[in-house]
Chain A
Amino acid sequence: MDSDLSPQDKKDLDKFIKFFALKTVQVIVQARLGEKICTRSSSSPTGSDWFNLAIKDIPEVTHEAKKALAGQLPGIGRSMCVEISLKTSEGDSMELETWCLEMNEKCDKDIKVSYTVYNRLSVLLKSLLAITRVTPAYKLSRKQGHDYVILYRIYFGEVQLNGLGEGFQTVRVGVVGTPVGTVTLSCAYRTNLAFMSNRQFERSAPIMGIIVDHFVDPPCGVQRPANVGHPCNYRAPDEDDGGLFAGVQDSQEVCTTSFSTSPPSQLYTSRLNYHPPALAGAADLSHPAANPNQVMHRSATGQFTNAPTSSQPRITLPLFLLCSGDDDGMSQSGEGRSVSPSDPVESLNAFTRKIGAFVNKPTTQMTAANLDLPFAAFAPRGLDSEENDPMVTPPDSPACPSPLQASLHSQGSESSGQQDDFVMVDFRPAFSKDDLLPMDLGTFYREFQNPPQLASLSLHISSQSMADDLDSLPEKLALYEKNIDEFDAFVDMLQ
Chain B
Amino acid sequence: MNCRSEVLEVTVEARQVEEAMLALLHTILLHRSTGKFHYKKEGTYSIGTVGTMDIDCDFIDFSFVRVSSEELDRVIRRAVSEFKDALGNSGSDGMGQISLEFYQKKKSRWPFSDECIPWEVWSIKVNVVNLANEQERQICREKVGEKLGEKVINVVEVINRHEYLPKMPTQSEVDNVFDTSLKDVQPYLYKITYQITDSLGTSVSTTMRRLIKDTLAL
Contacts and interface: CB of A to CB of B under 8 A. Distances in A.
Interface of A: 36-46, 49, 52-54, 115, 120, 123-124, 126-127, 129-131, 133-134, 138-139, 142, 171-177, 257-262, 356, 358-360, 378, 380-381
B157 to A, nearest CB: 7
B137 to A, nearest CB: 19
Chain B interface size, as a band, is: 35 or more
Interface string B153-179: 101110110100000111100000000
B52 A360 contact: no
B26 to A, nearest CB: 9
Contact of B53 (A37, A126, A171, A261): A37
Given A130-B65, A172-B157, A41 B185 contact: yes
Interface string B24-66: 0001001100111011111111111111111010000101110
B152 interface: yes
21 contacts: A36-B53, A40-B68, A42-B35, A42-B51, A43-B36, A44-B36, A46-B49, A52-B47, A53-B50, A123-B162, A127-B156, A130-B155, A139-B61, A172-B157, A260-B42, A261-B39, A261-B43, A262-B44, A359-B46, A381-B40, A381-B41
A261 B54 contact: no
A189 to B, nearest CB: 11
Contact of A45 (B38, B43, B67, B185): B38
A115 B162 CA distance: 14
Nearest to B37: A259
B31 A126 contact: yes
B44 A259 contact: yes
Contacts of A257: 46-47, 49
Contacts of A380: 40, 46
A130 B30 contact: yes
Contacts of A41: 35, 48-51, 67-69, 184-185
A360 B184 CA distance: 24
A261 B169 contact: yes
Given A53-B52, A258-B47, A261-B39, 17 more contacts: A41-B49, A42-B48, A43-B183, A44-B36, A52-B47, A54-B51, A130-B31, A130-B65, A138-B63, A173-B156, A173-B160, A258-B45, A259-B44, A259-B47, A260-B42, A261-B171, A356-B46
A126 to B, nearest CB: 5
Contacts of A126: 30-31, 52
B44 A378 contact: yes
A369 to B, nearest CB: 20
Given A37-B52, A54-B49, A130 B44 contact: no
Contacts of B88: none
A441 B100 CA distance: 46
A359 B41 CA distance: 10
B38 A130 contact: no
A131 B43 CA distance: 36
Contacts of B118: none
B140 to A, nearest CB: 17
B35 A261 contact: no
Contacts of A127: 31, 156, 159-160
B50 A52 contact: yes
Contacts of A260: 42-45
B160 A38 contact: no
Most central of A43, A139, A142 by chain B CB within 10 Å: A43
A158 B101 CA distance: 42
A52 B52 CA distance: 11
Given A37-B52, A173-B160, A174-B160, A261 B168 contact: yes
Interface of B: 27, 30-31, 34-36, 38-54, 56, 61, 63-65, 67-69, 149, 152-153, 155-157, 159-160, 162, 168-171, 183-185
Given A45-B49, A123-B31, A260-B45, A131 B54 contact: no
Contacts of A261: 39, 43-45, 168-171
A259 B169 CA distance: 11
A38 B68 contact: yes
Contacts of B44: 258-262, 358-360, 378
B179 to A, nearest CB: 14
Given A42-B35, A49-B49, A261-B44, A37 B160 contact: no
Nearest to B70: A41
A241 to B, nearest CB: 30
Given A44-B38, A120-B162, A360-B42, A171 B48 contact: no
A381 B185 CA distance: 23
Given A41-B184, A45-B46, A133 B54 contact: yes
Contacts of B40: 258, 359-360, 380-381
A133 B64 contact: yes
A54 B47 CA distance: 12
Contacts of B42: 260, 262, 360
Nearest to A111: B162
Contacts of B185: 41
Given A41-B184, A261-B169, A52 B51 contact: no
- Kindly name the residue among B41, B67, B160 whose own CB sees the greatest number of chain A CB atoms within 10 A: B160
A376 to B, nearest CB: 13
Q: Which of B49, B68, B170, B185: most chain A Cβ within 10 A?
A: B49
Contacts of B162: 120, 123, 176-177
A104 to B, nearest CB: 15
Tell me which of A54, A133, A139 has the highest count of chain B C-beta atoms within 10 A of its own C-beta. Answer: A133
B52 A39 contact: yes
The 6 closest A-B pairs by CB, nearest first: A174-B160, A36-B54, A39-B51, A258-B46, A41-B51, A54-B51
A455 B208 CA distance: 69
B54 A38 contact: yes
Contacts of B68: 38-41, 54
A129 B51 CA distance: 11
B63 A131 contact: no
Contacts of A53: 49-52
Contact of B34 (A52, A172, A175): A52
A258 B46 CA distance: 4
B135 to A, nearest CB: 20
B152 A45 contact: no
A174 B31 CA distance: 12
